[in-house]
Amino acid sequence: ELKVEQNPLFLSMQEGKNYTIYCNYSTTSDRLYWYRQDPGKSLESLFVLLSNGAVKQEGRLMASLDTKARLSTLHITAAVHDLSATYFCAVDRGADGLTFGKGTHLIIQP
Partner 1 sequence: DTGVSQNPRHKITKRGQNVTFRCDPISEHNRLYWYRQTLGQGPEFLTYFQNEAQLEKSRLLSDRFSAERPKGSFSTLEIQRTEQGDSAMYLCASRTSGGSYEQYFGPGTRLTVT
Interface residue with partner 1 among 21, 29, 33, 91 (CB under 8 A) is 33
Interface residue with partner 1 among 27, 102, 107, 109 (CB under 8 A) is 102
Interface residue with partner 1 among 11, 13, 43, 80 (CB under 8 A) is 43
Within residues 65-94, the interface with partner 1 by CB under 8 A covers 88, 90, 92
How far apart CA 53 and CA 45 sit, in angstroms, is 20
Which residues are at the interface with partner 1 (CB under 8 A)? 4, 31, 33, 35, 41-45, 48, 50, 88, 90, 92, 95-103
